[in-house]
Amino acid sequence: MTTQEDTTIYGTEDILRSLCNSVSKVLSVASQSQIHYSGMVQRITKTCLKPDIGCFVLFDGGFSGLVVINFSAQAAMELYESYMLSMGMAKEDLASSHTSDEVSNVMGELMNQIVGDFTGKVARELQTHITQNQPKMLALNKQVMLSVDTNMDKPEARRVTFFTGRNNIFYLEMAIDRTEFIKLNDFEHSEVPDPDELIAQVGAAKASAPATSSANDNDDLLASLGM
């Protein structure tokens, strides 16, 4: 984010930082460990799916782009095992290989959570809307590298290195249209919904609904009896 003569401008690096924070937040919670990323970012010319597991998702709307995360087998298995164990799964029931469909499904689910968190922040902080497709996950061998092309006019691509709690490495790549968001007026960022509070509200509504229905049924019965 840069400020020029009291004008606030959000550019590619600001969007990238927001995405990186979503990756760290979601994966740290899922793995119950600290996921952090490098303070340096690379400018790259194209985005690629690389071994051992590559995942990508496209988004469109206020701006268009592509997000790729390439996991090493060790990083993917660490995140998968930590996440499943925290969910109460027994260690002996876990998949033993990163090529397992179960590992791909779990990593795809985590990717979906990451992009969901990111799109929520975009709506709150940049006051625009983006939608994404379902993340695609591929287990790749060492001889395969897939280039992912987009239909963007002037794409800007970046790569960031991430480290897991056990210092395994994975890489985030992002390509988006060259864009800037210029703040015209001051506004308050909307608050992040509290899941616990929402669940409590739904529970309270459900608890009150039967009582109201029962009272109405009793009134109808008494009225039909002339009482």
Kindly give the confidence (pLDDT) of every residue in the chain, 227 residues in length, as a single tens digit, with 9 standing for 90 and above.
655 556 788 999 999 999 999 999 999 999 999 999 999 999 998 888 988 999 999 988 888 899 999 999 999 999 999 999 999 999 999 999 999 999 999 999 999 999 999 999 999 999 999 999 889 888 888 756 667 666 777 789 999 999 999 999 999 999 998 889 998 887 665 555 555 554 555 566 556 555 445 555 556 645 655 55
6: CB partners within 8 A, 6+ apart? none
DSSP single-letter state for residue 143: T
Query: Whole-model pTM?
Result: 0.78
Domain 2-192 adopts which CATH fold? Chemotaxis protein chec (3.40.1550)
* Whole-number Å distance between alpha carbons of 140 and 68: 14
Helices (H) and strands (E) in the chain, counts: 4, 13
Cα 40 to Cα 125: distance, rounded to the nearest angstrom:
23
Angle of CA points 16, 21, 25, to nearest 5°: 150
**Beta carbons of 115 and 59 less than 8 angstroms apart:** yes
Terminus-to-terminus CA distance in the chain, angstroms?
71
Tell me the C-alpha distance between 183 and 8, whole Å: 5
Cβ neighbours of residue 34 under 8 Å, at least 6 residues apart?
28, 165
d(CA 164, CA 114): 16
Distance between CA atoms of residues 168 and 172, nearest Å: 14
Provide the residue ranges of all domains of the chain, joining segments of one domain with +: 2-192, 194-227
Backbone angles phi, psi at 142, to 5 degrees: -65, -20
Taking CA atoms, 116 is separated from 85, 129, 146, in Å, by 23, 12, 25
